[in-house]
Structure 1
């Protein structure tokens, strides 16, 4: 029978327990929990083998984070090797997470067990842990758990201040939802107030202005006063439109409302006006966030489309990892899978269809410009994700490239190469950061025509000298001398033979 152990991880460190009587413990757990609550009886069946404390808070958070991911840290590996290394073939270790057990078996070759019995034993070990390890007091254990819980929560939801793309995801999602809600509520206000003043919705198209008029005017009879005419003019921003509203109100066919009706309409219209105001504030917040987190993508695609791309991808890092072909159809997954299922044509564009570049492109070139735009958007997202200090320099350059491509499709005008444009963009980026140019580049830029001519002459002289040296080495003189020597030797041999 194999030796049974239980690995118990806590905020203070790792502990390894030896289970003496597995069968009796499982039977005991089924019978009653009162027996396990007795430390004396429980200690007779489970004993502490070793305890490895965490020396620092960083060490604790590193090990516990690895355990939650099912990974084995070097500290845990050394601990298990020291305790079970020589007898691992005859031992089994109970773990609280099957993923951790698989990692231990793969890395250390120690068999691991995960079942209900081991989970119950671990629960009672946690209950008696202060008695198993007298050095750890209840207060110390509680403080360690509290500190580790706060640190672990911070690392779980931790975001880089300069890469707070989650704020963009929440903002763009809320912005889309608010657009739907404001439109729905405004339509409800128009339909509701339309029973009293049905002609107003034809004179005023803006939903926010309509709701503000409902709050200010209430009863259409109030429009006859000069003060109300001035109020309507201030709201609409057009005196002629205000006079048309006043004139139409005098001949309106709407029904009369009671005071409670006006109060409810006013309260609901105020809510729509408040939502519209908050929507403008939220849009400004999104613009500011995009200029901080993804300035190049915002300069190329716009804040809203760039934010939707990040939201659809899940994060800026995920968007940066996508190839341009995926960015091109991002947001058109339903059409893509339908095309794959029916073996039809796949979509040419997804969210980037709302870009002004594709709207301005001719019909026959929409697919080409969408592919080109997706390529530039992929580059912009990677620049924003992996640059230390991103700004709008590259995004504006990429936007100009798309503009040049549109002109090329329309007029056939040649565009500069990508290498030339990126070189200029890199120089502009360094200047925007206030970086000094390289010494080599500075020296070359400062040289005159005479210095360049001197360098060329020097290079030419070196080449000629090298060519002469190679020609001298390749000369056949030594070979001729060797042939003459051989002839002399052969002649002397012939004379000796004749003698």
Structure 2
């Protein structure tokens, strides 16, 4: 396009402001997000000529406003994505559990000074919450115990939400790791897409960042696994084989995350291959073989990085 009239028609290669009103923020956001041009042009001058802006400075002010609005809308959309909602649920679950346990200790200490039969822990707090208080101090102690019970109930409700949501967000990962571990891996990575883009070696040590940093500074050996230790394939494997099991599991978890992100289709072959690999690793114990760190581990790592 070579003249102002053409630019005003908002066709391919037209300025983001072309054909739009400075008051139509929705249309301007869309053109900022989706617009493109074959080559740079004198956009401020064209905007002034088209009557969109009063001056070049006014153009840049309007561009700034539209860009910020477009960025906010993009962030809002991403935050509403299912995997980000799962991240929020996991973090809220952890906050509720930590806070409930901390307050339960305080409630138990306080209740123990007021009631002879007060028990510790969250269940003890539930029992105190059902008491009929006598006096201001007992009312406050019972009220605190009630807050502990409410937080514990919210934690349980969040756990059920995670159990239902994780398989819908990441079917292969949730089946392979279990809904809670799958959700925690997604949360540690910052989302399903970041998790899918990580190499298997990184997935293997997610959750062990402190140990990894200590290793990098020369203060500790390299960690063999992070949060995936909670998976039965790692936790229930003999210590000398856990490194191999962690590598095999991390490799398949990485592939599962990639399939979930890019296609969303369940692939039975992933699960079958993991079961076969773990059967091979565990057979070492029955055969009396020592783990030398070789064997199929390299293959597992390669699969995760593919």
Structure 2 length-normalised TM: 0.72
Match of 1:360 in 2: 236
Contact 1:299-1:395 within 8 A present in 2 as well: no
Match of 1:74 in 2: 37
Match of 1:174 in 2: 92
Show CA shifts across 1:77-100 (max 9, x none).
36439x89xxxxxxxxxxxxxxxx
Match of 2:285 in 1: 410
Contact 2:107-2:125 within 8 A present in 1 as well: yes
Output the CA distance in 1 between the equivalents of 2:105 and 2:274.
Answer: 38
Task: Give the CA deviation at 1:185.
Answer: 0.9
Tell me the number of residue pairs that the alignment of Structure 1 and Structure 2 aligns.
Answer: 265
Q: What does 1:49-198 align with in structure 2 at a 5 Å threshold?
A: 52-53=18-19, 60-61=28-29, 63-65=31-33, 73-74=36-37, 77=39, 79-80=41-42, 122-123=56-57, 153-159=72-78, 164-198=82-116
- Asked whether 1:289 is paired with 2:252, we answer no
Match of 1:374 in 2: 250
Contact 1:325-1:371 within 8 A present in 2 as well: yes
Output the CA distance in 2 between the equivalents of 1:200 and 1:160.
Answer: 43
Task: Give the CA deviation at 1:371.
Answer: 1.1
Residues 216 and 341 of structure 1, relative CA distance in 2, 3 Å threshold:
closer
SS at match of 1:158: helix
Contact 1:214-1:269 within 8 A present in 2 as well: yes
Q: What does 1:416-431 align with in structure 2 at a 5 Å threshold?
A: none
Output the CA distance in 2 between the equivalents of 1:392 and 1:268.
Answer: 48
Match of 2:179 in 1: 303
Task: Give the CA deviation at 1:400.
Answer: 3.1
Q: Which runs of 5+ in 1 are unaligned?
A: 1-11, 16-50, 68-72, 85-120, 130-144, 220-257, 419-499
Residues 357 and 64 of structure 1, relative CA distance in 2, 3 Å threshold:
same
Residues 373 and 80 of structure 1, relative CA distance in 2, 3 Å threshold:
same
Greater C-alpha radius of gyration:
1
**Higher fraction of strand:** 1
Q: Which runs of 5+ in 2 are unaligned?
A: 1-9, 47-54, 289-295, 297-306
Task: Give the CA deviation at 1:155.
Answer: 3.3
Task: Give the CA deviation at 1:372.
Answer: 1.1
Match of 2:299 in 1: none
Q: For 2:131, which of 203, 217, 220 is the aligned residue?
A: 217
Contact 2:118-2:128 within 8 A present in 1 as well: no
Structure with higher RCO (Cα < 8 A, 6+ apart) = 2
Task: Give the CA deviation at 1:269.
Answer: 1.4
Show CA shifts across 1:451-472 (max 9, x none).
xxxxxxxxxxxxxxxxxxxxxx
Task: Give the CA deviation at 1:281.
Answer: 0.9
SS at match of 2:217: helix
Structure 1 length-normalised TM: 0.46
Residues 321 and 126 of structure 1, relative CA distance in 2, 3 Å threshold:
closer
Match of 1:488 in 2: none
Output the CA distance in 1 between the equivalents of 2:176 and 2:266.
Answer: 12
Q: What does 1:471-486 align with in structure 2 at a 5 Å threshold?
A: none
Task: Give the CA deviation at 1:399.
Answer: 5.6
Task: Give the CA deviation at 1:401.
Answer: 3.6
